[in-house]
């Protein structure tokens, strides 16, 4: 099985320092939907792993998160793609949560759900936390320069072997040959 793990905010959709709080604020990064469609059509399974501390902060509730994810699934499907699973962590950054990236809890749950070891599995993110979680489980960290990606690259400290791409479309181009 070919599995790809994607962060959500900054990779699939635009991110905001004020959080994406509802489906109206959820807007795809140009090329991301077509990239997911291309990957899906090439036999890749797509799992999303996303920190969503806005829930713990009271900025939005589960109904709003579900509406955002319903919109994401709908527009990906309309583009000809599929997201097989969405894993999220609602905990705040100051919690000791094992699911919140950079901790590997969500990625370990993905491995269990798909019954696949994560060694070498591409995991795409725009933040150091995304890359650290991938590295912790032996996945291959991919940094995209959308979202917070440019700042992440500038600050350095990337896990060894991190691959850098301009965006998700470039990741799809590299994986689908």
pLDDT the model gives residue 62: 97
CA 112 to chain centre: 17
Average pLDDT of span 7-24: 97
Q: Give phi and psi for 165, each to the nearest 5.
A: -135, 150
> How confident is the model over 62-117, as pLDDT tens digits?
999 999 999 999 999 999 999 999 999 999 989 989 999 999 999 999 999 999 99
Longest dimension (CA), the chain: 43
What single string gives the DSSP state of each residue in 12-49?
TB---TT---STTT--BPTTHHHHHHHHHHTTEEEEEE
User: CB atoms < 10 A from the CB of 155, how many?
Assistant: 10
% of the chain surpassing 90 pLDDT: 98
Please report which confidence band the pLDDT of residue 177 belongs to, taking 50, 70 and 90 as the band edges: confident
52, pLDDT greater than 90:
yes
Structural domains in the chain, CATH included, are 2-175 (3.40.50.1000)
Give the C-alpha separation, 78 to 94, whole Å. Answer: 37
Give the C-alpha separation, 120 to 133, whole Å. Answer: 13
pLDDT the model gives residue 137: 98
Average pLDDT of span 141-169: 97
Which residues are catalytic, by number? 7, 9
Q: Tell me the pLDDT of the chain averaged across its residues.
A: 97
């Amino acid at each position: 099985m070919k599995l790809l793990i994607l962060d959500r905010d900054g990779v699939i959709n635009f991110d905001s320092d004020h959080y994406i709080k509802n489906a109206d604020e959820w807007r795809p990064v140009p090329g991301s939907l077509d990239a997911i469609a291309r990957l899906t059509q090439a036999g890749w399974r797509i799992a999303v792993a996303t920190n969503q501390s806005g829930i713990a902060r009271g900025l939005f509730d589960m109904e709003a998160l579900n509406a955002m994810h319903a919109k994401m699934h709908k527009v990906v499907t309309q583009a000809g793609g599929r997201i097989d699973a969405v894993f999220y962590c609602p905990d705040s950054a100051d919690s000791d949560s094992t699911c919140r990236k950079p901790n590997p809890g969500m990625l370990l749950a993905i491995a269990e759900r798909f019954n696949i070891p994560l060694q070498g599995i591409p995991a795409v993110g725009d933040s150091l936390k995304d890359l650290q979680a991938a590295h912790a489980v032996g996945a291959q960290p991919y940094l995209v320069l959308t979202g917070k990606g440019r700042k992440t690259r500038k600050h350095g400290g990337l896990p060894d072997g991190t691959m850098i791409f301009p965006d998700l479309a470039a990741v799809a181009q590299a994986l689908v040959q």
